[in-house]
Every structure is written in C-alpha cells, then in structure tokens.
Amino acid sequence: MIVAGVDFGTLSVRVTLMDCTTGATLGGAVAGYPLKRSAADPLLGGQSHDDQMAALTRAMREAVANAGIDGTAVAALACDTTGSSVVMVDENLEPLADYYMWCDHRAHHEAAEITALGRAEGLEALDWCGGTYSHEWGYAKVLHFLRHNPGLRNRFATALEHCDMVAAVLCGIRDLSQLPRSICAAGHKWMWGAAWGGLPPQDFLSRVDPLFDGINDKLSGRFLTSDQLAGHLCAEWADKLGLRAGIPIPVGAFDAHWDAIGAGAHPGDITNVVGTSTCIIAMGPQGFPPVPGLCGVVPGSVLPDWTGIEAGQSATGDVFEAIAKRASRAVGDLCAEVAHLPPGGSGLMRLNWDNGDRTVLVRSDLGAVTLGWDLNHSAADEMHAAIEGMAMHVRIITERIEQGGMTTARIVNAGGIPQKNDLLNQIYADVLGREVHVPAHSPTGTGSCIFAAVAAGAFDSFDAAQAVLCPPARVFSPRGGYDDLFALFRDLYFGLGQGQALDLGAVLPRLRAYRLGGAAARA
C-alpha cells in the first residue's frame, strides 16, 4: 500500500510517498511559495491560499512522477501545516485576505487584551495555554482582522487554521457546520478544551471586544483528533493532483506534532523540531496539568489517549542564518571553526530573543542579548554562543515540562537542522545531560505518511506504523560540563526577561574566565 504525506512549511510544501510494506520512500518533491513581508510593517507575515494550493498540485504530480507510480495507487493522503496560520473566509470558503502566518506578529495588542481579561477573570482556558495568550494564535488574529478590515466584516463567515482549510478544500466540504477542526490546532491556539465544553465562553470573548459577538458560532464544525477522518478526496482535487477520488484524508494537525511522530517519538520523549524556529513537543499521561509558560497542554493533540504538550523558540535557524549572513559565511563553516571549544569557551553568553520569547516567558517585546564581547571575538564565537544559548533555553523548557510531573525519557532532535549540524546535537546532549537521538535522515513528511497509513488501514496502531516507517536514529551521548554555565544563563534569562534579582556585576567577569579557558583550548 502506498500513501502520500504532505507537509506545508513556511516557504514550501513537501510531498512524500511511502510504501507501507517496506517502509521505503518511493519519491518526493518540494514546491515553493512566497512569504509576504513588508519593510513598512515588519510584524506582517502573509501568504496566499492560491499559491499554497498551486504548489501542492505541482509537488504532488512531481512526486508521483519521481516515484514512477500511477497516482491512482495512492491509498490515502494526510496534510500537516504550520500554525497558528489563520485564513478568514466567506460563506463559500473563499479567502477574504492572505493567511496570517504563524510568524505574523501584528496581533500583539489583541493578544495582550485577551490575556489581561483572562487573568483578571480567572479564565480556566487561559491556564491550559500557559497563562498567556500569544500574538501568534487564532483569536488574536481574528480580532486584528476585524479591527483593521471593517469593509470585510459583513462577508466574514469563519476563520480556519491552515490544516483545517486544506483538508476541507481537498474533501470538497462547503457546509460550515461540517468543517473539520483539528483538536491539535483548536486546543493549542484557540483555547478549546473538552473539560470546559469546547471553545472559551462567548460572553468572555465579547467582553474583550464586541467585534467578537457571535464568533464561536462562526467557529462551528467537527472538533476531532487526527485518528478521525476529515473526509475523502473530492473529484475536483483528485483530478488536479492526479490521484484517485474517494481516498481517505484524516483530520490534519501542525507540522511539529506530526514531525515528532515521524521522528519516532513516543510518550515520555521530548522532541525538539528544530528549523526556522523550534517547536518542542512532548506527550504526557492523561491528567497532566496545565503548566505556566507552556504553549499548551491539550489531551489528544498529538496522539489519542495522550496529552500533547507544546513549547518552543520563536527563532532558531533564523538566528544561525542571520549570524552567518552578517559575516558572509556559511553556518557550517562557522560551526567547524569552533567545534573544539569547551563549554562557554567563546566567553560569550547569548540570549536568543531575536524574535521574542515563545516559551516560557511568552514575550514578543524582547530582543536578543549577547554579553562578553571583546575586540578579538568573531562570528564563529557568536555562533557557538548562539547554539549554547538555544540548548540552555531548551533545558529551561524541559525543566518546566518536568515540573508538571512528567518523567521524561529520550530527547529527540528532529526537523531539518539537526540532520546537518552535529555540533548543535552534541551541545544539546552536553547541556541537557542526556542522550540526544537524531533521525538518520530527515523525517519531514514521515509523520503525515504515518497518519495517512493508519487512515488507510495499513496499520492498526500508530506504534505499528512508526516501527515500519520511521528512520533509525543516531545517538549523541552527553559529556557534561555545563551546569555552572547553565546556572548563569538561567539567572540572566529570568533576570533580564522577567525582572528577577541577579548580580549583574558578577556576569562579565565570569564570562571572561570562560573566555580565557577557551583561549587555552584554542592554543
């Protein structure tokens, strides 16, 4: 049996075709689309629905051709996407404007208003998304749209996450009450929870702004986990994609959640999906409580019967690329230059808030800080400090997850960057003090194939599908040496980011001592 997995990223869509019997990847293809930015509005991040679907068509047909198969042999199709990437549509599901992509930060005022009222009123739903409603999430983006597009308010029928929009379009669903609504998306980004009856109370939202009147009625649909079907591929899109009409399409989800499954993650593991940004995914037991600062604790958001836990970093690969670009060097070259340095050997401490802090501070108003500079520092030194800073931030997040009572097992580094940056993997292992497992080849798209395979009946469980379809892993063992540096990082992280007391006068001398130790290693 052959299945198709679709992964919509920030700049491109990837289609992967896998054989469920052998676990072999038969073929794949990638097609790009532009991310709309604006020098006049640096918070904007938009994308065209038509561009996305045209790219899907190109990538699917190319993948089928590369695999040398007949498209009608594909037995199921599953799609994951970025999130919270939100599109406003009319009653015919026609977009009223571009997507507010996950990286669109224009709704920060709206998010702050939702957070302030939610805290004042003790809104239970807010507790489950870490106590702070993010500017990256759905309700904030809807309110920003309604405030800034008064001429379109009367045509606004509903808002959809990208994973739900693409599933509805491919299945030919036009009845708004039958729209598939991913619990992964709704729980982590829209404060949906079965425990309080679904979406947060309408009267609360209306008190945030009367423009929200009736919004929950407009967000109706079928709220389902991804072991359920969104529907079946309609004839129109079967013809466009070169596939067979009627094949099952499961309810979609966010890319990082399915990437974790594609990387072989199991309950108890913590998976760092490291790319442009980092999304951190864990699966805890039923009954795992809300934890302040985490992006969401949502039963069923990754796998049914387990509680999905999400955290992340707003910029990771973007930070590395920015450092390399400023130096007109390649990331790999800079890493090779400092691969021999001991912990803190650059003498620099970098807090990677270049795009704000997603977890655990949830502050979009922070900027990056690099401390300890002297006249001889290089871009390679900054790169080493940036990787250490990422790893130490992940340790803060990991410790916060564990505060919820979860006993963590493995650390898995998934996403595109760990495949090509062994220095990053080794530093993560050293900082976290535990083994880091890295898929031997990129699992992007594998998670989608796993959900497609289960939907098609090729496997009777997700564990069984993972055993056949997931790539093997390389293991990086910890060497230690980071506890003292991490203590300094933690003081700076909460001192500069949250106002906790710290001894600023001791910071630079401590970094200078690390710098001298690094100089000895260079010699």
Please indicate, yes or no, if residue 467 is contained in any of the structural domains.
no
On the CB side of 180, CA atoms within 13 Å amount to 29
Amino acid at site 307 = T
CATH number at residue 273: 3.30.420.40
> Mean of the pLDDT values across residues 162-178?
96
Residues 230 and 273 in one domain: no
Q: Collect all residues with Cβ–Cβ distance below 8 Å to 367 and sequence separation of at least 6.
A: 353, 354
DSSP conformation class of 30: E
Please indicate, yes or no, if residue 193 is contained in any of the structural domains.
yes
Assign 407 a pLDDT band (cuts: 50, 70, 90): confident
Average pLDDT, the chain: 94
Of residues 284 and 159, more confidence is placed in 159
Q: Is the pLDDT of residue 409 over 80?
A: no
Please provide the size of the chain in residues.
523
Residues 246 and 291 in one domain: no
Assign 522 a pLDDT band (cuts: 50, 70, 90): low
Q: Collect all residues with Cβ–Cβ distance below 8 Å to 37 and sequence separation of at least 6.
A: 44, 45
- The confidence score (pLDDT) of residue 362 equals 82
Residue 8 forms beta bridges with which residues? Answer: 13
Residue 321 near residue 331 (C-beta atoms within 8 A): yes
Q: CA-CA distance, 51 to 38, in Å (whole number)?
A: 18
Please indicate, yes or no, if residue 131 is contained in any of the structural domains.
yes
- The confidence score (pLDDT) of residue 51 equals 98
Assign 444 a pLDDT band (cuts: 50, 70, 90): confident
Residues 70 and 195 in one domain: yes
Residues 248 and 269 in one domain: no
| First vs last C-alpha separation in the chain | 58
Residues 284 and 190 in one domain: no
Q: Is the pLDDT of residue 287 over 90?
A: no
Assign 237 a pLDDT band (cuts: 50, 70, 90): very high
Residue that terminates a domain, selected from 204, 234, 254: 254
Q: CA-CA distance, 13 to 59, in Å (whole number)?
A: 7
Q: CA-CA distance, 280 to 312, in Å (whole number)?
A: 5
Q: CA-CA distance, 201 to 493, in Å (whole number)?
A: 35
Beta carbons within 10 angstroms of residue 517's beta carbon: 15
- The confidence score (pLDDT) of residue 479 equals 94
Least confident of 56-65, 171-180, 321-330, 438-447: 438-447
- The confidence score (pLDDT) of residue 443 equals 84
> Mean of the pLDDT values across residues 262-278?
91
Please indicate, yes or no, if residue 464 is contained in any of the structural domains.
no
Residues 235 and 342 in one domain: no
Q: Is the pLDDT of residue 86 over 70?
A: yes
- The confidence score (pLDDT) of residue 294 equals 84
Residue 232 near residue 247 (C-beta atoms within 8 A): yes
Q: Cis omega (within 30 of 0) on the bond before 84?
A: yes
φ and ψ at 397, to 5 degrees? -65, -45
Residues 248 and 295 in one domain: no
Identity of the highest mean pLDDT range in 38-42, 289-293, 336-340: 336-340
**3-state secondary structure labels for all residues of 478-503:** CCCCCHHHHHHHHHHHHHHHHCCCCC
Q: CA-CA distance, 354 to 75, in Å (whole number)?
A: 43
DSSP conformation class of 193: B
Residue 309 near residue 452 (C-beta atoms within 8 A): no
Residue 418's domain spans which residues?
Answer: 265-442+481-522
Please indicate, yes or no, if residue 454 is contained in any of the structural domains.
no
Q: pLDDT tens digit string along 362-384? A: 888 899 999 999 999 999 999 99
- The confidence score (pLDDT) of residue 415 equals 86
- The confidence score (pLDDT) of residue 295 equals 75
Residues 246 and 308 in one domain: no
> Which residue is listed with tokens 């790219």?
55
Q: Is the pLDDT of residue 304 over 70?
A: yes
- Own/partner contacts of 498-501, CB < 8 Å, gap of 24 or more, are 498/361
- The confidence score (pLDDT) of residue 410 equals 86
The domain total for the chain is 2
Residues 74 and 101 in one domain: yes
Please indicate, yes or no, if residue 100 is contained in any of the structural domains.
yes
Please indicate, yes or no, if residue 472 is contained in any of the structural domains.
no
Q: Is the pLDDT of residue 406 over 90?
A: no
Please indicate, yes or no, if residue 452 is contained in any of the structural domains.
no
Q: Is the pLDDT of residue 477 over 70?
A: yes
Q: Which of 439, 397, 436 is nearest to 414 (CA)?
A: 439
> Mean of the pLDDT values across residues 96-118?
95
Q: Is the pLDDT of residue 61 over 70?
A: yes
Angle at 351 between CA 350 and CA 353, to 5 degrees: 135
Q: CA-CA distance, 370 to 379, in Å (whole number)?
A: 12
Q: CA-CA distance, 36 to 343, in Å (whole number)?
A: 39
- The confidence score (pLDDT) of residue 523 equals 62
- The confidence score (pLDDT) of residue 427 equals 98
- The confidence score (pLDDT) of residue 212 equals 98
What percent of the chain has pLDDT above 90?
85
Q: Is the pLDDT of residue 70 over 70?
A: yes
> Which residue is listed with tokens 């068509």?
57
Beta carbons within 10 angstroms of residue 22's beta carbon: 10
Q: Is the pLDDT of residue 130 over 70?
A: yes
Residue that terminates a domain, selected from 204, 220, 254: 254
Residues 224 and 276 in one domain: no
Residues 390 and 295 in one domain: yes
Q: Which of 43, 77, 81, 82 is nearest to 63 (CA)?
A: 77
Residues 377 and 434 in one domain: yes
